[in-house]
Amino acid sequence: MTTLRDFQAEIQQAQSRALTKQRAQGATVETNVDWRSADRATTSAGGSLQSQTVDATSSVEEDDILNFLLGGDYESARNSLASLLTRQRGEYIFRIGVRSPTSTLFSGEPLDNASGWTGVSLTEDHIGNAILGVEKVVEEIGAKVSVLFRADGLHPRAAILLRLPPLDIALTPEVRCAVVGNVDSGKSTTLGVLTRGTLDDGRGRARVALFRHKHELETGRTSSVGMEILGFTASGIPVLPGRIEGQGPGTVRIDRLGWEDIAAQSAKIISFSDLAGHERYLKTTLYGLTSGAPSCVILMVGGNAGFIGMSKEHLAITLALNVPVIVCVTKIDMTPPNVLSETLKQVTKVLKSPGCRKTPVLVKSTEIVIELAQIFAQNKICPIFKLSNVTGEGLDYLRTFLNLLPPSEHDSEAFAVDQPLEYSITEVWSVPYVGTVVNGILNSGRVKTGDAILFGPDANGHFQSTVIRSMQRKRADVFSAEAGQCVSLALKRVKRVSVRKGMVIVHKSDAPPGATRRFEGQVLVLYHNTTMQPNYQAMLHCGAVRQTVRIVSLDHPQGVLRTGDRATVEFEFISRPEFIKVGMKLLFREGKTKGLGVITRLLG
């Protein structure tokens, strides 16, 4: 029986082989690219949560820069810092003094007598002078400095954030996070407090502004994929909308700053997908996880209720999709200490179980936050935050953590700028006086206003041509976008009924892409209560594609599939052909049945 971890490793290898082949066939040469785009396309150091690597020379450069600063050679320090920031795409955490042993730091044990300290030992005065020197030289290159952490005493040390402001909104880095959890675990309330800056009243007042439909206000349950953003300035300060207090106890506060204003003031944007927690809306939650390409999943667990209901289902799906996960234990202000302790033990036990194999780390200090933000994904670490939306406890740690996460579009393995345009449509609207507007993610390539494009496939597998009338990012007008970014496109003279979720947009060419009705994939059945055989139907999620498929045939000695079985399966879309590619990850479900796989062959 194939284990999930082994199968995920094989999926990664299959995706890598398919990606290499596709990029070799579709590589294009781009010129006159700004330093951010060029570096993103050609360098794999830094970047995404999935593929972040550490620049081996950074620590050596830090020592050289400190020597320059303490020796008064500010010109050499400025040049070295400018080079470092350029390679790190405009953002870098600069450490001064010794570095804590992470094993002791993450365990929560006292650091004073711990062994394993690394780096150059400096006095408190030297650290203070170094911080002043960094502030002086980075101001000359246009960057901003914020002191994240400083500790004096036996082991003086500090960490400061260096960040270059983006030239415009089109270049503002973005981190996409999906928020999941059981009903009443505090998802919408936490997002309301994080993005609006005011604490909750204990009765869910903070979440009201996030609801999009009348029935959500009536029931208090999220049923759709809600989007919220949190901006940070170049100095690391959250950009929060102003508010007007209403007349009366039930009046909702009114935001003064819109998305476009927040984006204009931000040097980094965190985009949250507030997904439904009720079992009835699991299909919507699954679509948000597969189509939104999140860099991480934030799993909310109510401190008073524990790890129950859909929380386990959402964690299982997140692990199957191999997305890094963060756990937030909410409502700690109203939870008795013994109940909270039991909840934390339960969460820790689940994360350490053979099915998860994560290393849980309880966040207790800013120093832990700084270390976790850079390494938690590739080291299978799961940060645990304890939050209170009423008292505000733990929220500063979570904001700092989000501020330090590597941007989603910097994942050069998933998003290639030098490839032909491919844009996945995840939302469709009809906007008065504008026309049909689509929202989605650029999987590859670049696009700009006025480009002639093709969108499809339709029910017959055909693509239609149109022109991009205008473009917005976080509701602010932009004129271009590139791989990894989430943008909205207004399509010229296109009817709303002609476009649907799951379609793709490509550049207009003599050879339009093909649509596929039948395909083959390697699958692993995660759970099925009986047997799965030909003609079995299930809902397939593959990127932005969501459609019912039928099993045409399967290659297994017994001729049927049970829980834990792996086989080569031929699928057929029931309603219409779709645009899919070899190497794409797929997830299919029907009731409690779940299966994971990867597309290996397109059959036409």
Per-residue model confidence as pLDDT tens digits over 571-600: 999 999 999 999 999 999 988 888 999 999
pLDDT digits (tens, 9 = 90+) for 404-447: 999 988 887 889 898 999 999 999 999 999 999 999 999 999 99
pLDDT digits (tens, 9 = 90+) for 270-304: 999 888 766 777 788 888 888 888 999 999 999 99
Is the Cβ–Cβ distance between 568 and 522 less than 8 Å? yes
Q: What is the pLDDT of residue 58?
A: 64
Higher confidence at residue 51 or residue 483? 483
pLDDT digits (tens, 9 = 90+) for 175-187: 999 999 888 888 8
Q: Is 102 exposed, middle or buried (0-12, 13-18, 19+ CB in 10 A)?
A: middle
Tell me the average pLDDT across 201-217.
56
pLDDT digits (tens, 9 = 90+) for 478-506: 999 999 999 999 999 999 999 999 999 99
Is the pLDDT score of 134 beyond 70? Answer: yes
Q: Whole-angstrom Cα distance, residue 206 to residue 389?
A: 9
Question: Band of the pLDDT at 210, cuts 50, 70, 90?
Answer: low
φ, ψ at 378 (rounded to 5°):
-75, -15
Say which CATH topology domain 422-507 has: Elongation Factor Tu (Ef-tu); domain 3 (2.40.30)
422-507 matches 169-410 in CATH topology: no
555: Cα separation from own chain's centroid = 35
Q: What is the 3-state secondary structure (H, E, C) of 524-550?
A: EEEECCCCECCCCEEEEEECCEEEEEE
Q: Whole-angstrom Cα distance, residue 309 to residue 435?
A: 41
Percent of the chain predicted with pLDDT > 70: 87
Q: What is the pLDDT of residue 380?
A: 87
At which residue do the structure tokens 């030098």 appear?
Answer: 418
pLDDT digits (tens, 9 = 90+) for 535-548: 999 999 999 999 99
Is the pLDDT score of 30 beyond 80? Answer: no
Is the pLDDT score of 371 beyond 50? Answer: yes
Is the pLDDT score of 208 beyond 80? Answer: no
Q: What is the pLDDT of residue 203?
A: 64
Question: Band of the pLDDT at 6, cuts 50, 70, 90?
Answer: confident
Task: Tally Cβ neighbours within 10 Å of residue 235.
Answer: 12
The per-residue pLDDT of the chain, averaged, comes to 85
Q: Which of 159-163, 401-405, 508-512, 554-558 has the lowest mean pLDDT?
A: 508-512
Question: Band of the pLDDT at 508, cuts 50, 70, 90?
Answer: very high
Consecutive H or E run containing 298: strand 296-302
Q: What is the pLDDT of residue 110?
A: 85
Higher confidence at residue 13 or residue 238? 238
Q: Whole-angstrom Cα distance, residue 116 to residue 104?
A: 9
Name which of 64, 41, 67, 43 is nearest 55 in CA terms: 43
Peptide bond into 336 cis (omega under 30): no
Higher confidence at residue 313 or residue 437? 437
Say which CATH topology domain 169-410 has: Rossmann fold (3.40.50)
Higher confidence at residue 104 or residue 424? 424
| Domain residue limits, the chain | 4-21+516-602, 58-163, 169-410, 422-507
- What is the DSSP secondary structure assignment for residue 561, as one 8-state letter? B
Question: Band of the pLDDT at 52, cuts 50, 70, 90?
Answer: very low
CATH class of 4-21+516-602: mainly beta
Question: Band of the pLDDT at 252, cuts 50, 70, 90?
Answer: very low
Q: Which of 12-26, 30-44, 244-258 has the lowest mean pLDDT?
A: 30-44
Q: What is the pLDDT of residue 377?
A: 82
Question: Band of the pLDDT at 401, cuts 50, 70, 90?
Answer: very high
Is the pLDDT score of 211 beyond 80? Answer: no
Q: Whole-angstrom Cα distance, residue 374 to residue 48?
A: 10
Q: Whole-angstrom Cα distance, residue 228 to residue 222?
A: 13
Q: What is the pLDDT of residue 362?
A: 95
- 357 Rama class: left (phi>0) / alpha (psi -120 to 50) / beta: left
Tell me the average pLDDT across 201-222.
54
Tell me the average pLDDT across 455-476.
94
